[in-house]
Amino acid sequence: MRTDAELIQQYQEGQNAAFDELAKRYLQDIFRFFNAMVQNEEDAEDLTQTTLFKLYKGLHQFRFQAEFKTYLYKINTNVVRNYLRKKKIRSIFSFEEPNENLVLESNDKEHEFDKDDLWRNINSLPHKQKMVVIMRLSQQLPFKDIGEILGINTGTAKVNYHYGIKSLQGSMKELV
């Protein structure tokens, strides 16, 4: 399997098939990120396509000064910000219809709660905490990368994550 750097280099040398392979490698991660952010599959698909288009246009200028994944999530972050700005949405998450129940860490009924409750609690977090929590839990990004993507230092990313999780734990205990 070719590395991201090899694929980028080949794409920059004119091999478009290398971009296709790179896009396939990250397609699901990109979609999951957007779906977690906007809670709408159609919009998540559109945002994914926008990201891939921007990546296709801009990858020729990628200079390997950062990890590719960091570069990609920086594009994702900018795309979702533009989406929210255009839609004039103040909240990242929308709630159109109740989702299935979600069980965390146990199949025990006492740990079961509605997925909407989780999203409402995530929605109540300050913007940076929401972004850090989603990037860390949903995308498993290291704090260093989250910091680079959001333009904050690693320690600030950790603090935002800590307070976000602490707030979620407190609010979810009230529901259980």
The CA-atom distances, in angstroms, between 76 and each of 94, 108, 154 are 19, 36, 19
Task: Tell me what the mean pLDDT of segment 83-111 comes to.
Answer: 46
pLDDT at res. 49: 96
Task: Tell me what the mean pLDDT of segment 29-33 comes to.
Answer: 93
- Contact between 148 and 65 under an 8 Å Cβ cutoff? The reply is no
**Domain spans in the chain, listed from the N-terminal domain onward:** 1-91, 99-176
Tell me which range, 37-41, 111-115, 170-174, is most confidently predicted by mean pLDDT. Answer: 37-41
Cβ atoms within 10 Å, residue 78 = 14
- Tell me which fold the domain 1-91 belongs to: Rna Polymerase Sigma Factor; Chain: A (1.10.1740)
The CA-atom distances, in angstroms, between 16 and each of 9, 92, 124 are 11, 34, 43
- Spacing of C-alpha 104 from chain mean position: 20
- Chain mean pLDDT for the chain: 82
Distance CA 19, CA 134 (A): 26
- Contact between 47 and 34 under an 8 Å Cβ cutoff? The reply is yes
pLDDT at res. 66: 84
Per-residue confidence at 175, pLDDT binned at 50, 70, 90?
low
pLDDT at res. 104: 40
- Contact between 161 and 136 under an 8 Å Cβ cutoff? The reply is yes
Residue predicted with more confidence, 93 or 77: 77
Please say whether the dihedral angle defined by the alpha carbons of residues 43, 48, 54 and 56, taken in this order, is positive or negative: negative
Per-residue confidence at 139, pLDDT binned at 50, 70, 90?
confident
* Residue type at position 81: R
Question: pTM above the 0.75 mark?
Answer: no
pLDDT above 90 covers a percentage of the chain that reads 45
Task: Pick 99-176's CATH classification: 1.10.10.10, 3.30.70.2190, 2.40.10.10, 1.10.260.40.
Answer: 1.10.10.10
Residue 164 has pLDDT above 60, yes or no: yes
pLDDT at res. 172: 75
